[in-house]
Structure 1
Amino acid sequence: MRREGGSGGLDRFRVLAALLVAANHTSPLLDLSPLADHILTQILARLAVPFFLAVSGCFLLPRAEEQGRRSLLPFCRRVLLLYAGATLLYLPLRLYSGALPGPLGLLRDVVFDGTFYHLWYFPALLLGLALTALAPRRALWYCVPLYLLGLLGDSYFGLTAALPPLRAFYDLLFRCFDQTRNGLFLSPLFLALGERLGRTPPRRGSRFYAAALAGALALLLGEGLLVSFFGLARYSTMYLSLPLALWLLFRLLQTLDLPRRPELGTFALVFYLIHPWAIVAVRGGARLTGTTAFFVEQSLTHFLAVVLLSGLLSALACRALSRRSGQPAAPAAPSRVRCWVEVDGAALQHNLAVLRRRLPEGGKLMAVVKADAYGHGALPVARLCAAEGIDAFAVATVAEGAVLRRGGITGDILVLGRSFPPEFPDAFRHDLILTAADALHARELAAFGRPLRVHAAVDTGMARLGFPAGDLEGLAALFRDPRLRVEGLFTHLCAADGPSEADTAFTRAQLQAFFTRARELRALGIDPGALHVQASAGLLRYPGLPCTYARPGLALYGVGDGALRPVLTLKCRVAAVRDLSPGETAGYGRAFRAERPTRLAVLTAGYADGLPRSLGGRGRVLLHGQSAPLVGRVCMDQALADVTGIPDVCPGDEATLLGPGLPAEEVARAAGTIPNELLSRLGSRVERVYL
Structure 2
Amino acid sequence: MRTSNRAWAEINLAHLKHNLFELMRALPSRCSVMAVVKANAYGHGGIEVAKFLNEIGVIHFAVASIEEAIELRRHGVQGEILILGYTSPDRADDLFSYQLTQTIVSADYGRALDERGRKIKVHVKIDTGMHRLGESHRNTDEILSCFNPIHLRVNGTYSHLSVSDSLDREKVAFTTMQLAQFNAVIDRIRSEGLNPGNVHIQSSYGILNYPDIAFDLARPGIALYGLLSNEEDRVVTQAKLQPVLSLRATVSQVSDVPAHHPVGYGHKFIPSQDVRIATVSIGYADGIPKNLADNGGYVLIRGQRANMTGSICMDQFMVDVTSIEEVRQGDTVTIIGQDGTETITAGLIAKQCGTVTNEIVSRIGSRVERVYVS
Question: What TM-score do you get using the length of structure 1 for normalisation?
Answer: 0.51
Indicate if the aligned counterparts of 2:107 and 2:145 stay in contact, CA closer than 8 A: no
Aligned to 1:479, what secondary structure does the other structure show? coil
2:333 pairs with 1:655: yes
Query: Any idea what the Cα deviations from partners look like across 1:468-505, whole Å, max 9, x if unmatched?
Result: 01112111111122321111110111111124222111
Distance 1:470 1:401 in 2: 31
1:405 matched residue in structure 2: 73
Query: Any idea what the Cα deviations from partners look like across 1:309-337, whole Å, max 9, x if unmatched?
Result: xxxxxxxxxxxxxxxxxxxxxxxxx9433
Aligned to 2:252, what secondary structure does the other structure show? strand
Distance 1:451 1:477 in 2: 17
Aligned to 1:637, what secondary structure does the other structure show? coil
1:518 matched residue in structure 2: 186
Which residues of 2 match residues 82-97 of structure 1 at below 5 A?
Answer: none
How far 1:556 moved relative to its partner? 1.0
How far 1:599 moved relative to its partner? 1.9
Which residues of 2 match residues 171-320 of structure 1 at below 5 A?
Answer: none
For residue 582 of structure 1, what is the amino acid of its counterpart? A
For residue 180 of structure 2, what is the amino acid of its counterpart? Q
Say which one has the larger Rg. 1
Distance 1:491 1:595 in 2: 57
How far 1:431 moved relative to its partner? 0.6
2:117 pairs with 1:435: no
For residue 651 of structure 1, what is the amino acid of its counterpart? Q
2:313 matched residue in structure 1: 635
Question: What TM-score do you get using the length of structure 2 for normalisation?
Answer: 0.93
1:613 matched residue in structure 2: 290
Which residues of 2 match residues 328-477 of structure 1 at below 5 A?
Answer: 335-477=3-145
Distance 1:639 1:443 in 2: 52
Q: Pick from 324, 327, 336: which aligns with 1:646? A: 324
2:364 pairs with 1:682: yes
Which residues of 2 match residues 20-31 of structure 1 at below 5 A?
Answer: none
Q: Pick from 522, 544, 555: which aligns with 2:212? A: 544
Distance 1:358 1:453 in 2: 29
For residue 494 of structure 1, what is the amino acid of its counterpart? S
2:248 matched residue in structure 1: 571
2:147 pairs with 1:492: no
For residue 647 of structure 1, what is the amino acid of its counterpart? E
Aligned to 2:18, what secondary structure does the other structure show? helix
For residue 269 of structure 2, what is the amino acid of its counterpart? F
Which residues of 2 match residues 77-156 of structure 1 at below 5 A?
Answer: none
Aligned to 1:366, what secondary structure does the other structure show? strand
Of Structure 1 and Structure 2, the greater strand share is in 2
How far 1:672 moved relative to its partner? 2.2
2:300 pairs with 1:622: yes
How far 1:666 moved relative to its partner? 0.9
Distance 2:272 2:205 in 1: 44
Indicate if the aligned counterparts of 1:614 and 1:672 stay in contact, CA closer than 8 A: no
2:202 pairs with 1:534: yes
Distance 1:508 1:678 in 2: 30
Query: Any idea what the Cα deviations from partners look like across 1:286-323, whole Å, max 9, x if unmatched?
Result: xxxxxxxxxxxxxxxxxxxxxxxxxxxxxxxxxxxxxx
Indicate if the aligned counterparts of 1:414 and 1:432 stay in contact, CA closer than 8 A: yes
How far 1:595 moved relative to its partner? 2.7
Query: Any idea what the Cα deviations from partners look like across 1:496-516, whole Å, max 9, x if unmatched?
Result: 112422211111111111111
Distance 1:519 1:573 in 2: 57
For residue 249 of structure 2, what is the amino acid of its counterpart? C
Indicate if the aligned counterparts of 1:336 and 1:687 stay in contact, CA closer than 8 A: no
Indicate if the aligned counterparts of 1:394 and 1:414 stay in contact, CA closer than 8 A: yes
How far 1:597 moved relative to its partner? 3.1
Aligned to 1:458, what secondary structure does the other structure show? strand
Q: Pick from 263, 279, 296: which aligns with 1:602? A: 279
Indicate if the aligned counterparts of 1:617 and 1:629 stay in contact, CA closer than 8 A: no
Distance 2:306 2:171 in 1: 37
Aligned to 1:593, what secondary structure does the other structure show? coil
1:139 matched residue in structure 2: none
2:347 matched residue in structure 1: 665
2:225 pairs with 1:557: yes
2:261 pairs with 1:584: yes
Work out the percentage of aligned pairs sharing the same amino acid: 42
1:203 matched residue in structure 2: none
Aligned to 1:601, what secondary structure does the other structure show? strand
Query: Any idea what the Cα deviations from partners look like across 1:630-669, whole Å, max 9, x if unmatched?
Result: 1211000111112222222111000011134211111112
For residue 553 of structure 1, what is the amino acid of its counterpart? G
How far 1:389 moved relative to its partner? 0.7
Distance 1:430 1:668 in 2: 37
How far 1:586 moved relative to its partner? 0.3
How far 1:387 moved relative to its partner? 1.3
Distance 2:49 2:132 in 1: 28
Question: Structure 1 residues 688, 453: closer, same or farther in 2, change over 3 A?
Answer: same
| Stretch moving more, 456-465 or 518-527 | 518-527
2:173 matched residue in structure 1: 505
Aligned to 2:26, what secondary structure does the other structure show? coil
Indicate if the aligned counterparts of 1:604 and 1:637 stay in contact, CA closer than 8 A: yes
Indicate if the aligned counterparts of 1:629 and 1:642 stay in contact, CA closer than 8 A: yes
Distance 1:353 1:456 in 2: 28
| Stretch moving more, 559-568 or 439-448 | 559-568
How far 1:577 moved relative to its partner? 1.4
Distance 2:96 2:85 in 1: 16
Aligned to 2:163, what secondary structure does the other structure show? coil
